[in-house]
Amino acid sequence: MAPPTAVVDGGGAVPQPQGGRQQPAAGGGFSFTGIIRMVVFWYFASKFFSPAKKPTEPSALVSNLFHKSQPMSHWLSPVGMLQRNFKTWASIIRSLCVDSRHNEALSFYQHCLKDSAAFKPDHQVLAAILKSCSALLASNLGKCLHSCVVKQGHDSCHFTNKALLNLYAKCGLLDDCQKMFDQLGHCDPVIWNIVLSGFSGSSKHDTDVMRVFRTMHSSGEAMPNSVSAAIVLPVCARMGNLNAGKMA
């Protein structure tokens, strides 16, 4: 057998294999055909071996619709293509309230009541709508919702009671606020602060602020926190009540 020939390159002999075949150059990359095959392989692998996607829930569609701050005329039509049920409507109302689009939330709530007699808002929807009423100072609608809360048996719900109390406090309906506060059982610091904030809105109710604050201290039901202090201290300054200011 004849020995392999050699090519002289600068004084060094590089052996060449028989048969005219050349060895690939050192550091050679992929061929074009190999790259195409790899792309095709990964495409079909991702198609057949990727986990199946779950169908999009109506609430997810609603979330995408209402975080674009579009006017009501833009999203009311797509809503008609969704499944018209309570879950979808409730998601829409809550999304609008979260985005502080309170006028649209109230409009859509009324639309739901007119569209279907079967629409029965639960405690979460009522609490969200009451929040919108508080933001818009819509006390008359809030009182109607209070009747709806009692009628549907949600008057024992902590969330709806807190929303109603906040409505009366923000709208300056302090007699209704006090009456409802007296009817509640255990009150957490948030509820106490809502009442304090309602009475602190006018200097003529400074004595009521101090009365509620002293009751909060003496009852031991909920200890005043930083929010309580921020409400009470300006009242103490107006009244010149140093002792109450030290309590806060």
**pLDDT one-digit tens code per residue, 21-38:** 555 554 455 677 877 777
Beta partners for residue 15, in sequence order: 6
What is the model's pLDDT at position 123?
Answer: 93
**pLDDT one-digit tens code per residue, 40-53:** 777 666 666 555 54
What residue spans of 50-138 are helical by DSSP H? 58-66, 72-81, 86-98, 102-115, 123-136
Categorise residue 234: left if φ over 0, alpha if ψ from -120 to 50, beta otherwise.
alpha
Note if the pTM is more than 0.75.
Answer: no
Task: Give the C-alpha distances (Å, rounded to integers) separating 215 from 172, 175, 223, 248.
Answer: 21, 17, 11, 13
Task: Give the C-alpha distances (Å, rounded to integers) separating 70 from 46, 100, 114, 117, 165.
Answer: 36, 13, 23, 28, 31
Only one residue has tokens 């057949």, namely 48
- How many other C-beta atoms lie within 10 A of the C-beta of residue 188? 11
